Amino acid sequence: MNISLIIPTYNNLKHIKNAYTSVRKFYPKLELVLLDDGSTDDTKSWLDNLEDEFVIKHRSEERVGHTILYDVGIDMATNEIVGIMHADMILGPNYIENILKHLEKGKVVCATRIEPPLHPEGKEKIIRDFGMDFDDLNIEEFESFVIKSQKDYKDQTTRGMFAPWVLYKEDFQDIGGHDSGFAPFPYEDSDIFQRWILAGYELIQSRDAFVYHLTCRGHRWSEQIGKDDNYFKLASEKAAKHYIRKWGSWIKNDEHQYPIIIPKYDIGLIVKNCNSNLLEILEPWCSNIYIEDEMEVIKSHYIDKEQNNTEYILNYKIRPYDNEKQNEILVRIDATSFDKSDFQIIQQLPEIIKDNGEIGSFQLGNLFIDIIHMNEYQNTLIKN
C-alpha cells in the first residue's frame, strides 16, 4: 500500500504494542514509522527486538515531543501518502480503505474517533466504552461495533479535523510541516490545521474510518488517568503562549472541530501604569506593547524570565511608552482601571474588529481603541 503511518511514543510500551498489533492485524505489509521519544521504560528494547521488515525505527536520546517526531517520521517515510496515529489508538477494520477513498492532492482526511467517556461529547466523535486503559480493552466488541457502524455511515463525510489524519507527503512538506515552536506539544495540531485551510487544502472527516482512542496517554496522563502531569502543564503553558503570539487569538472550532480562522491584526497595546503582572498577561496578545518603564526594570525582569520560553524577540516587542507607535491598531490601557472584562475584550478584539470594526476611534469598557488600518496577516503564517 502506498501509505506510511507515523506513530511516536513516550513511555507507553503497552499502548504502542496494542497500536502496532491493531495495524498488523489488518495490514501486515503497511509501512510503519515507529519513533521512541527517549522513553525510560522498555520501549527501546521492544523496538530493537521487533522483527518487521516493514517498520522504520527511530529513537530520540532525549524527549523532544511529538511535534518534532511527526515531522521526523514523515521525512523518513518512503511512501507518497503519510498519516499519523497516536500511540494510544487502536485501528479499526477497513481504516485505510475508508480514508483513502476520499484522499487526493490538496485534501487532508481524518478518521472518526471512538472514545471512552472521559471527555465531553462532540459531533466529531462517538462516545462508547470499549475499555478505559491498555489492559481492559474489549477489541472484539470494538471491531463488531465498527463493522456495524461502517454500514450505517457508509461513504459519509463531514467537515472536521482531528488526529488521526492522512495526506500526501508533498502537501505536508509544502507548508513546512509542524511549527517547532510548539515543541514538545500541544496545539501544534490546531496550528497546522489552520495553515492547511489558509493554504487552500480541503479538510474532510471520514465517518466510516474508525479508531478507538484512549485519549491523552501519549503525553498528558502518566500515573493516573485524568490527572495532568507537571511536564504537560509546563509544556501546555509555553505552547499556548506561542499560539497566541503567533495567531493573535485563541483556538476556535465549530461543532465538528473544524477550525474557525480569526483574523490576525497588527495590534499595539499602550499601557499606562503597567506592572510586571499585567505585562505578563498582556504581552502575548499583541504585536507590540508600550509601557512606562524608564529604567527598564519591568521589561528586563520579564525578559529574563520569559525569553528562553519563546522564539519571539521580546526586547523588540516590548517598547518604551513614549516611542513612536507604528501599529495599525492601537489600544490605550490604564492599568489602574483595567479589569477582567477589559481583558476579555483584549482576547476577543480580533473578532470584534472583524465583525464591527471600521477605521476610527472608539471606547470599549476601559479601553480606548484607534483603528488606522484593518489589514489581515493570517495568510503570512501558512508556511512554517
pLDDT above 80 for 248: yes
Residue identified by cell 503564517 is 381
Could you tell me the three cell numbers for 327? Answer: 501599529
pLDDT above 90 for 223: no
Which residue type sits at 345?
A: I
- CATH code of the domain covering residue 73: 3.90.550.10
Whether residue 255 is contained in a domain is answered as no
DSSP H stretches of helix in 9-85: 13-26, 43-49, 66-76
Whether residue 365 is contained in a domain is answered as yes
Comparing CA positions, the residue from 101, 380, 156 lying closest to residue 263 is 380
Comparing CA positions, the residue from 279, 251, 267, 229 lying closest to residue 346 is 267
Residues 163 and 310 in one domain: no
Q: Are 60 and 36 in contact (CB under 8 A)?
A: yes
Q: What is the pLDDT of residue 45?
A: 96
The mean predicted confidence, pLDDT, of the chain is 95
Task: Single out the residue in 247, 275, 310 at which a domain terminates.
Answer: 247
pLDDT level of residue 152 (50, 70, 90 thresholds): very high
Could you tell me the three cell numbers for 227? Answer: 490527572
Whether residue 368 is contained in a domain is answered as yes
Supply the pTM of this predicted model: 0.95
Q: Are 161 and 205 in contact (CB under 8 A)?
A: yes
Q: What domain count does the chain have?
A: 2
Residues 220 and 271 in one domain: no
Q: Computed from CA positions of residues 207, 213, 218, 221, in that sequence, does the dihedral angle turn out positive or negative? A: positive
Whether residue 253 is contained in a domain is answered as no
Residues 232 and 308 in one domain: no
Whether residue 261 is contained in a domain is answered as no
Mean pLDDT of 8-14: 94
| Dihedral, CA of residue 43, residue 44, residue 46 and residue 50, to nearest 10 | 130
Could you tell me the three cell numbers for 2? Answer: 502506498
Task: Single out the residue in 247, 278, 308 at which a domain terminates.
Answer: 247
Q: Are 243 and 250 in contact (CB under 8 A)?
A: yes
How far is Cα 229 from Cα 234, in angstroms, rounded to an integer? 9
Q: How far is CA 67 from CA 73, 178, 189, 246, 314, in A?
A: 11, 6, 8, 16, 24
pLDDT level of residue 222 (50, 70, 90 thresholds): low
Residues 231 and 284 in one domain: no
Half-sphere exposure at residue 9, Cβ-oriented, CA atoms within 13 angstroms? 29
What is the extent of the structural domain holding 179? 3-247
DSSP assigned state of 258: P
Residues 183 and 295 in one domain: no
Say which residues have a Cβ less than 8 Å from residue 284's Cβ, sequence separation at least 6.
241, 244, 245
pLDDT level of residue 203 (50, 70, 90 thresholds): very high
Residues 16 and 142 in one domain: yes
pLDDT above 90 for 226: no
Residues 113 and 191 in one domain: yes
pLDDT level of residue 357 (50, 70, 90 thresholds): confident
Q: What is the pLDDT of residue 119?
A: 84
Residues 49 and 135 in one domain: yes
Residues 320 and 364 in one domain: yes
Whether residue 260 is contained in a domain is answered as no
Residues 228 and 312 in one domain: no
Q: Computed from CA positions of residues 69, 191, 210, 223, in that sequence, does the dihedral angle turn out positive or negative? A: positive
Point out which residues pair with 154 in neighbouring strands: none
Residues 289 and 214 in one domain: no
How far is Cα 326 from Cα 312, in angstroms, rounded to an integer? 18
Whether residue 364 is contained in a domain is answered as yes
How far is Cα 219 from Cα 169, in angstroms, rounded to an integer? 25
What are the tens digits of pLDDT across the range 61-109?
999 999 999 999 999 999 999 999 999 999 999 999 999 999 999 999 9
Q: Computed from CA positions of residues 38, 41, 43, 46, in that sequence, does the dihedral angle turn out positive or negative? A: positive
Residues 242 and 113 in one domain: yes
Whether residue 258 is contained in a domain is answered as no
What are the tens digits of pLDDT across the range 304-346?
999 999 999 999 999 999 999 999 999 999 999 999 999 999 9
Mean pLDDT of 131-135: 87
Q: What is the pLDDT of residue 216?
A: 77
How far is Cα 351 from Cα 240, in angstroms, rounded to an integer? 19
Pairing of strands 31-36, 55-59: parallel
